Chain A
Amino acid sequence: MHLIDRVAHTNRWSGRNPRDKLLLGGGLLILSVVLPPVPGAVLVLIAAVTATVAGARVPAGDYFRVLMLPVAFMVSGAAVLALSVRLDGGGPAIAFSADGATTALTVSLRALAATASLLLIILTTPVSEFLGLLRKIRLPAAIVDVTLLVYRFTMLTAEVAEQARISQASRMGYTGFRRSLRSAGLLAASLLPRVLDKASRMETGLAARAYDGDLRVLSSPVAPSQGFAMASLALQGAILGISLFWLAYGIGGVGV
């Protein structure tokens, strides 16, 4: 969480108008879903990773650390698709089928491309900017406010929890399995009242600034870039064109 947040604030595109990034990432996401995985998803994957790492200069190490989590889910899901349990002849046996493998591969490719497109938006756009965009597209204020508070309190809770963990660890709270379990339990139990207390003090702070139940804020103004939008559309057009060409002249046998 902290990693994503830090990257989102420090990359080269973090100051860009979020509409730019939504157009690029959202367009790629749609392409990854509607086009056949080969070559569509492959092209989208290459484009999204290149844009994030080379364009926005998100450090490659950070990028792959964030990517690892969804990839782990994909791999376990794909394994189930590729393997099947055979019950004919003797006891149950695990079998590998070519059909299953093809399905696993195409599903994984598509999922990976879609994830990379989402990461392009998530890793380059600070949450605060994103919320401004949600407001602009007229999402109900209550939803945006709750999103904002969840984000802020997640960060606060993480900070409080980290402090408490350090304090426990420095008093030998995490030596041995039983003691670790006990300490973690105590920490979790003490977290809620502490965060609630913080929340009520925050309410006083907000009331002091004439809070009327609506958390409106302004972002510093950055206009969307015409050039960026054109480049995004051109890239997406190229991916679409290549995929259609590929389909029409039937190079690949793999398709959905």
Chain B
Amino acid sequence: MILAARGLRYAYSGGLEALKGLDLDVPRGGRLAILGPNGAGKTTLLLHLNGTLRPSAGELLRDGKPVAWDRRTLTRWRTMVGLVLQDPDDQLFAGNVYQDVSFGPLNLGLAEDEVRQRVDESLAAMRINDLAERPVHMLSGGQKKRAAIAGVLAMRPEVLVLDEPTAGLDSHGVSHLLAALERLSDNGTTIVYTTHDVDLACAWSDTVAIFHSGVVIGTGTARDVLTDGDLLRRAHLQPPLVFDIGLALKELGLLADGAPLPRSRAEMLVSLGQLMPQGASQDTQVGCSEAKLRAVFD
């Protein structure tokens, strides 16, 4: 576990308790989705993962060892765990994208050449090299988001922590963002993000942690956790659409009982493609007819 939380408690001044003895494991190199309704304290949890907030009780472990809270440790910790806030306007401050991305590595005390190399590398990773000279208030929502992430990437974090990364983005912005995160994940960066979007957590994660009233009430793979009706009801969440459809298909005998449920739109289309009759010949492999399919989807 690259990061872990044990018995984490945190109350805001005024007494509102956001975390109530929370346990969480962040596996190295994995993709962890923290799923929960709005206002449940997910952001508070993320702010603990890079040491911005200090818990009133409980501890945080980095590589299995409890972390300290002195200045030097905090700097190293925040370099290792890159935090991307929900609203990119809270993060972008410089005049243009290039300058903003250079901010983090300059704070690490790197030489100018090294900083420039890292800026170029981060802009390339987010595919925004062409926006380098653009002033930050002249970017679209999706572009701002990717610029904010590039600013964090330039510090080469081992863990990238994102608060509601897809909130407010159009579908084009979301697919660009997910493609970029996919590349980072493939290169070994651990990714942790919060979301209230069940379909996103289902499609894009190795582990899903369900967060409700200050604690994690369930952790596991999407197929384990997001099919647990009781768990979902307790967290006021609905099952992902693809699981609902997949289960309906199994019920109708269109999808083999042992076959894994499709986790994303793409996987769903693939399994539907296997069901669909090819040309004139009726596909009998899975015992399905066109009429039967129509009955399901009309």
Chain A residues with CB under 8 Å of chain B are 5-6, 9, 15, 126-129, 131-132, 148-149, 151-152, 155-156, 159, 198, 201-202, 204-212, 214-221
Contacts and interface: CB of A to CB of B under 8 A. Distances in A.
Given A202-B93, A215-B93, 6 more contacts: A9-B134, A149-B93, A207-B78, A210-B155, A215-B94, A217-B95
A100 to B, nearest CB: 45
**For the side of the interface on B, what is the size category?**
35 or more
B90 interface: yes
Contact of B133 (A149, A216, A220): A220
A236 B79 CA distance: 50
B94 A5 contact: no
A217 to B, nearest CB: 4
B83 A151 contact: no
B103 interface: yes
A218 B106 contact: yes
B107 to A, nearest CB: 4
Contacts of B83: 204-205, 208
Main secondary structure of the interface of A (DSSP, over half): helix
Contacts of A212: 107
A152 B92 CA distance: 9
Interface string B86-115: 010111011110111011101110001001
B93 A218 contact: no
A193 B115 CA distance: 36
Contacts of B98: 218-220
B239 interface: no
B138 interface: yes
A248 B79 CA distance: 67
A253 B58 CA distance: 86
B52 A9 contact: no
B82 interface: yes
B88 to A, nearest CB: 9
A233 to B, nearest CB: 28
A209 B119 contact: no
B75 interface: yes
A1 to B, nearest CB: 11
B50 interface: yes
Contacts of A9: 133-135, 138
A126 B133 CA distance: 10
Contacts of B100: 217
Main secondary structure of the interface of B (DSSP, over half): helix
Contacts of B90: 198, 201-202, 204-205
B115 to A, nearest CB: 6
A205 B235 CA distance: 29
Nearest to A152: B93
B137 interface: yes
A180 to B, nearest CB: 27
Interface string B120-151: 00000000000011111110000000001001
Given A208-B152, A210-B104, A218-B112, A128 B95 contact: yes
B107 A201 contact: no
Contacts of B94: 128, 148, 152, 215, 217
A208 B137 contact: no
Contacts of A204: 47, 52, 83, 85, 90
Contacts of A151: 95
B116 interface: yes
B135 A5 contact: yes
Contact of B93 (A6, A132, A206): A206
Nearest to A221: B116
9 contacts: A5-B135, A9-B133, A126-B95, A152-B136, A202-B91, A209-B78, A210-B78, A210-B107, A216-B107
A128 B78 contact: no
A148 B96 CA distance: 11
A116 to B, nearest CB: 24
A202 B103 CA distance: 14
A211 B133 CA distance: 22
